[in-house]
Structure 1
Amino acid sequence: MERVAKSKIYTKTGDRGATSLYTGERLSKTNPVFDALGNTDELNSSLGLAAAACSEDSQIMNIIFTIQNRLMDIGACIATFQSSEDTDKLLKTRFDPSHISVLENWIDILDAALPKLTNFILPSGGEASSRLHMSRSICRRAERSLAALLERQEIDENVFVYINRLSDLLFVMARTMAYRQGKGEVIYQKQ
């Protein structure tokens, strides 16, 4: 069998339960920072699925792709503790608060075109809407995992605010897709 060069995909450095942050600091994979990174990565992947279901709506697709890029930026921020002495890496991973305003603007634009919500709704409204609702739920989990890091002042507060606002946007995007595709939203009915 022909010998090929070792892939750069696997490094084996995490085989004993530790891995590195962007700054090079090695920590146990049980550290809450890796929960936050994993949840953010899962959110990004779920948005990829949502994008596939929204492929006929260029506005929503462009919003999703922009968010996915910002989530990659957020991953770098999470992997660089604010207490780091590596000022170069802190500057490279600084999260611009203007990204929050962009989300708020999208919320306002999309929500203005929707029928007023007068009841709680169940995650519903067709495949595209339901996938965006799933992303919203994962976003809330990511937010909860970031809260622990925020309390310890290990992440930039703007990252936390962005993720909080993102869940609101994903809710409005889910409603938007249901509305644009003519799919009914299921109203919650208390027994």
Structure 2
Amino acid sequence: MVVLNKIYTRTGDSGETALGNGVRVAKHSQRVTAYGTVDELNATLGLARLHASGDMVSAISRIQNDLFDLGADLCRPEMDRDAQAEYTPLRIIPAQVDRLEREIDTMNADLSPLRSFILPGGSALAAHLHLCRTVARRAERETVALSTVEGVNESAVKYLNRLSDWLFVAGRVANDNGADDILWVPGANR
């Protein structure tokens, strides 16, 4: 359980922050950049949720909770196998990735195949979901960059990859199951 009695601590005033294991690092470290971008993604999903209804609200809320799990995963470096943890760190698990895949397949079943790329837009919800998709891709890039210098849970990277696909398909669903998608017309303005 998280208890936040005091919001400011002044411990970050020198440009450092504490990871989940208590180790202090620069606020611009690759790990902080990765989980900070996940936090930004969560905030953009909160905006998208304002335009959603029904099952989409529930799905976005579930994903937002998963993103807090992902942030917790990324803020706690993988520990040395011999180190004793006070508690088992929270990690994204394959079942969370599998759930996204099932939801993508379900949403995609009612959509017509694409014949062109889609321009972000259409309904307000679709536009917000496309913005979320681009932030998810950035979070994925930042997390992959982190994985080149430190250990990262493989399921965390997979989750972000699947989530961007989920957001793309959900954007199409939000555009009247693709009927209101705005298609790219190559060279249309030459």
Partner of 2:141: 144
Aligned twin of 1:33: 31
Preserved contact between residue 133 and residue 174 of structure 1 (Cα < 8 Å):
yes
Indicate how the Cα distance of structure 1 residues 8 and 177 shifts in structure 2: closer, same or farther if over 3 A, else same.
Answer: same
In structure 1, list runs of 5 or more residues that go unmatched: 1-6
Which position in structure 2 is the counterpart of 1:163?
160
Q: Deviations over 1:103-124 (max 9, x none)?
A: 0000000000112211111001
**Displacement of 1:153 after TM fit?**
4.0
Percent identity over paired residues: 37
User: Structure 1 length as normaliser, TM-score?
Assistant: 0.90
**1:118 alignment counterpart:** 115
Distance in 2, matches of 1:176 and 1:86, equals: 46
The code of the aligned residue for 1:92 comes to: P
Residues 137 and 170 from structure 1, CA distance in 2 versus in 1: closer, same or farther, beyond 3 angstroms?
A: same
Change (3 A) 1:156 1:88: farther
CA 1:183–1:81: 2 relative to 1, 3 Å:
same
Aligned to 1:53, the other structure's residue is in SS state coil
Report the AA paired with residue 44 of structure 1: N
User: How many pairs are equivalent?
Assistant: 181
Give deviations 1:109-150, integer Å, cap 9, x for gaps: 000011221111100121010000000000000000000122
Going from structure 1 to structure 2, the CA distance change for 1:26 and 1:162 (only over 3 Å counts) comes to: same
Match of 1:4 in 2: none
TM-score normalised by L of structure 2: 0.90
1:72 to 59, 68, 72: 68
Considering fraction of residues, name the structure with more helix.
Answer: 1
RMSD of the alignment, in Å? 1.5
User: Partner of 1:53 in structure 2?
Assistant: 51
In the alignment, the residues of structure 2 paired with residue 88 and residue 117 of structure 1 have an alpha-carbon distance, to the nearest angstrom, of: 50
Gaps of 5+ in 2: none
